[in-house]
Structure 1
Amino acid sequence: MNDNTQNQQPVADNEQQPVVSEAHDEAADIEEVSVVRPPRHHRREPHEDKYFKIRNILNIIFMLGAVVGMAVFYFGTRTTGTIIIITAIAFKVIECFFRLIRQ
């Protein structure tokens, strides 16, 4: 027998071989080309957010509180560290509130 016929596996009747269609690939390429992306605007308007400064201050308080709270939690008493972290989270919630009412 030929080596090529020995290595081939017989295909069962219920198995289907995948069919590759070149027409489908061409249609996909055409579809990708016709997609137009909207323009992106990177500059913000100067008067867009009147809570910008207070949000930044609240974020700084949150970050400092989180770092200090984690340090106290691991190197000091866990109860005090937990209270500091929860207080920092409260500042983050307030900042999120200002972000939501801006819209």
Structure 2
Amino acid sequence: MKLAAPLLALALLRGASAVFWQQYYTANCAGSMADSGSNTDTFDCTKQEGKSVFFTKYGGVSCTISIYSDDNCQDSVFNVGDGCYNFGGTGRSFSTFCE
């Protein structure tokens, strides 16, 4: 579920867990932003739009972030935590899931 910034803030105030991400057109999470979004609960698949993505987790419940080698979250490669991740190629995707 993607939320606008005010709704995400309200959900966090109520104690919800969330993952927020920002995709960038360049490596190392710098320069122009390609896309951004958030997830507070169910599995959410996002296609790669840029060359890097920055993840931030909020809340007290565990959230999982997985990187995939395809663009529809089928071929999982590994899980990542908070911070910047460089895709290192094209045609990838990532998923977020909060319990």
TM-score (norm 2): 0.19
Structure having greater relative contact order (Cα 8 Å, sep ≥ 6): 2
Larger Cα-atom Rg: 1
Q: Give the number of the structure whose residues are more often strand, by fraction.
A: 2
Q: Give the number of the structure whose residues are more often helix, by fraction.
A: 1
